[in-house]
């Protein structure tokens, strides 16, 4: 996966990796290589999810007049 990171493609690849590992059809060396790829992809996906969460946070003033970060979903509950 070169260029811009594609979260959906990474998730599809992770699913394929899990299926390949669960199948038991890979050699030990192939399994280790695929597992390492999966670990790297999961790190990138976790980072991307963190970035997405941060982008939906908003700065709001609370009852005491101080500003705090709130998740967008928390704001809709009020």
Question: Quick one: average pLDDT of 66-71?
Answer: 77
- 14, two tokens: 């992770």
Model confidence pTM above 0.85: no
Separation CA 1–CA 41 (nearest Å): 10
Q: What is the pLDDT of residue 62?
A: 78
Q: Considering only residues 10 and 67, tell me which one the structure prediction assigns the higher pLDDT.
A: 10
**What pLDDT digit, counting tens, does each position of 23-46 carry?**
999 999 999 999 999 999 999 999
Nearest residue to 21 (alpha-carbon basis) of 8, 10, 37? 37
Separation CA 75–CA 78 (nearest Å): 6
Phi, psi of 14 (to 5 degrees): -60, -40
Three-class SS state of 59 = strand
């Amino acid at each position: 996966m070169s260029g811009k990171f594609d979260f959906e493609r990474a998730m599809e690849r992770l699913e394929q990796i899990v299926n390949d590992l669960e199948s038991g059809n890979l050699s030990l060396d192939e399994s280790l290589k695929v597992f390492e790829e999966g670990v790297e992809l999961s790190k990138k996906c976790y980072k991307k999810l963190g970035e997405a969460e941060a982008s939906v946070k908003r700065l709001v003033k609370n009852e005491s007049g101080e500003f705090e970060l709130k998740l967008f979903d928390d704001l809709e509950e009020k």
